[in-house]
Amino acid sequence: MRTSLISLSLLGGSVLAARPFLNEPDTGFDEYFADLEVGDLAPLESLVGLPDFEAAARRRLPVANYTYYRNGAAGEWSYRNNLEAFNRYAVRPRMMVDVTNLAASFPTTILGYNFSAPFFIAPCARGDYGNINAEKGLVEAAAAENILYIVTYYASRGGELY
């Protein structure tokens, strides 16, 4: 009886142990951009994957601004869940597919409106924390490329942009 209680308590401790979590994978960003000064923007065409964008933002933005965007609710659970959500879906790569006319397959219709891409720019509150142009830059980029833009309720510049 005593042995089983000890075994159960040891097993329970291992079940409740926190799993390790990395903020982002090491893509070599810090080594590749070693000569980039803190506060400078990394050349966007040089960024290879999504983790590079987070590393570039961390290096570019003031700590308070970066923390505002990076923070997650419920003890970071929501942030971790958002990152891990991509692992729950399998993307089957297509091999040997002709991609010479790939841009022709991008236009799509969303809710009866035609757009140039099958994705949209999501709302981002406090756009001025990321750039001095705030949401205006996002609106202008979306309009120039005919991409759907979702307006944020908590815009830093007000509704005159829309």
b/e code 78-111 from CB counts within 10 Å (16+ = b): ebeeebeeeeeeeeeeeeeeeeeeeeeeeeeeee
- Asked whether 51 and 27 are in contact (CB, 8 A), the reply is yes
In this predicted model, what pLDDT tens digit does every residue of 89-131 receive, in sequence order?
887 777 787 888 877 888 999 889 999 999 899 888 788 888 8
Residues in the chain: 162
How far apart are alpha carbons 118 and 50 in whole angstroms? 18
Q: How many CA atoms lie within 13 A of 23 on its CB side?
A: 9
Model pTM score: 0.66
Backbone region of residue 106 per phi and psi (left: phi > 0; alpha: psi in -120 to 50; beta: other values): alpha
- Asked whether 72 and 78 are in contact (CB, 8 A), the reply is yes
pLDDT computed for residue 19 by the predictor = 59
% pLDDT > 90, the chain: 17
In this predicted model, what pLDDT tens digit does every residue of 49-100 receive, in sequence order?
888 988 999 999 999 999 888 888 777 888 888 888 877 888 777 778 788 8
Identify the residue whose tokens are 């756009």. 127
Helices (H) and strands (E) in the chain — how many of each? 6, 4
Tokens of 82: 């958002």
pLDDT computed for residue 148 by the predictor = 94
β-strand partners of 120? 148
Residue 16 or 101, more confident: 101
